[in-house]
Amino acid sequence: MSTSNTFSILFLVNPKKISGDLVTIYVRITVNQRRSTISLKRKIPLKCWDSAKKRARGTSAETKQLNHYLDKVQARLFQCYQELLFKGKKITAQLIKATYLGEDENSKSLQDLIDYHSRKIEHTLTPGTIKNFKITEGYIFKFLKTEKKTTDVYIRELNYKFLCDFQDFLSSYYPKGHPKAMGHNTIMKHIQRLRKMVTLAFNMEWIDKDPFRRWKNTFEKKDREFLSVGELSNLETYEFPVERLDRVRDLFVFSSYTGISYVDIKKLTANNISMGIDGDKWIISKRQKTNTPIKVPLLDPVLELIKKYEDHPMTLVSGTLLPKITNEKLNVYLKEVAVLCGIKKNLTFHMARHTFATTVTLSNGVPIETVSKLLGHTKISTTQIYARVLENKISQDMNALRGILKQKKVEDSTQNSNVAS
């Protein structure tokens, strides 16, 4: 393929488009006999334009200033041509024009990136994740408006300081309806989402380098709350005076013995129950969040709940395994459940999943690899968040060790006695 190009720059006016006695100055770019024209938004009396020299005629200060501007335009257009040539791109008059006007990929703005990212994730991520990105986008625009006094910036203007300033803004921002500012981990999540978008721009070569490459996200380790054996037992056996609380408790218990999140429980039907390889009943489904398989053998408390709601009016109408309720109401009603059962912890439905991981499985000796599969985690490091060792488990393990050491001591003493005799 030939790489040589014919390239020329020409300034001109169009006498047919005269307004009063003024005409607009244009610049025409020609590459390989293909043309593209840019209006320079500068006007001049037609009689003051030298069509031979392609410049304004005269020696006045205004004329000199205009001709100096035209020289700068010519120099910049030639620079655009040289830059494209250096990058090895296929050079066209239209591409030089776009580069000059700042309409090339190197001049994409943060708004352009956010719009593109939103379209990209529209059909690939879950509604909950998309909602989280929307919240982050809202904070980005608030930050631009209040701190940068603008509505948009070029991606190429992003740098390490921009991210530091965004973090400071989030640290002092009080979300509407919240009693306090955001926590550290929440701030890190918003920055993490912004970074994902900017990394996308870098991978698509909208920018030459990742402006946040030196940034390190730091998350504070948080203890995941869960119900103890006693608390779970109290919850299971308590007799509620109101049926709606009884249903809420049953949903929580179901999750405590399966590890399935509420968004996935809501979708379960009788079709999700199958015979496993062991001949017992299993729930087989997929996690909405990650689209990973859910395969959980059913324990007795779960089988009892399925039986309880088999012919319930609510499940007959919905066609689901258990009664459905909105997530918001579910967590509100769980506060009532906690009070009645004497549970002092901030009871939320997600705590049931933590209870399954910690109290029901790990503390009873189920290997972490198995728990990871049951929870539908894609990485075992995610499961390790739950892998705390309970005090009673420490006590059991140490007692077992104590017994082993005593037994060894007895055996050694017996051996020594036999040798002596």
Q: What is the pLDDT of residue 179?
A: 62
Q: What is the mean pLDDT of the chain?
A: 87
Measure CA of the first residue to CA of the last residue in the chain; give whole Å: 98
Domain edges within the chain = 7-103, 107-203, 229-385
Q: What is the pLDDT of residue 2?
A: 45
Model pLDDT for residues 128-177, shown as the tens digit of each residue: 889 999 999 999 999 999 998 988 888 888 989 999 999 999 998 887 76
68 pLDDT higher than 90 = yes
Average pLDDT over residues 275-300: 88
57 pLDDT higher than 50 = yes
Model pLDDT for residues 318-332, shown as the tens digit of each residue: 999 999 988 788 989
Least confident of 131-145, 242-256, 310-324, 385-399: 385-399
Q: What is the DSSP letter of 356?
A: I
Q: What is the pLDDT of residue 223?
A: 66
Q: What is the pLDDT of residue 218?
A: 81
HSE on the CB side for 99, CA within 13 Å? 20
Q: What is the pLDDT of residue 204?
A: 83
Q: What is the pLDDT of residue 406?
A: 86
Residue of higher predicted confidence among 102 and 120: 120
Model pLDDT for residues 190-219, shown as the tens digit of each residue: 999 999 999 998 888 788 788 888 888 887
Residue of higher predicted confidence among 223 and 360: 360
The CATH homologous superfamily for domain 229-385 is Intergrase catalytic core (1.10.443.10)
pLDDT band at 5 (very low <50, low <70, confident <90, very high): confident
CA angle centred on 320, ends 319 and 321, rounded to 5°: 130
188 pLDDT higher than 70 = yes
Beta strand ranges found along 201-270 (DSSP E): none
> In this structure, which amino acid lies at residue 51?
S
387 pLDDT higher than 70 = no
Residue of higher predicted confidence among 181 and 355: 355
Within 8 A by CB and 6+ apart from 203, the residues are: none
Class of domain 107-203: mainly alpha
Can you say whether the dihedral through the CA atoms of 362, 365, 369, 371 is positive or negative? Answer: negative
Q: What is the pLDDT of residue 207?
A: 82
In three state form, how does the secondary structure of the chain look?
CCCCCCEEEEEEECHHHCECCEEEEEEEEEECCEEEEEEEEEEEEHHHEECCCCEECCCCHHHHHHHHHHHHHHHHHHHHHHHHHHCCCCCCHHHHHHHHHCCCHHHCEHHHHHHHHHHHHCCCCCHHHHHHHHHHHHHHHHHHHHCCCCCCCEHHHCCHHHHHHHHHHHHHCCCCCCCCCCCHHHHHHHHHHHHHHHHHHHHCCCCCCCCCCCCCCCCCCCCCCCCCHHHHHHHHHCCCCCHHHHHHHHHHHHHHCCCCCHHHHCCCCHHHEEECCCCCEEEEEECCCCCCEEEEECCHHHHHHHHHCCCCHHHHHHCCCCCCCCHHHHHHHHHHHHHHHCCCCCCCCHHHHHHHHHHHHHHHCCCHHHHHHHHCCCCHHHHCCCCCCCHHHHHHHHHHHHHHHHHHHHHHHHHHHHHHC
1 pLDDT higher than 90 = no
Q: What is the pLDDT of residue 105?
A: 57
Q: What is the pLDDT of residue 401?
A: 84
Average pLDDT over residues 66-89: 89
Number of other residues whose CB lies within 10 A of the CB of residue 55: 18
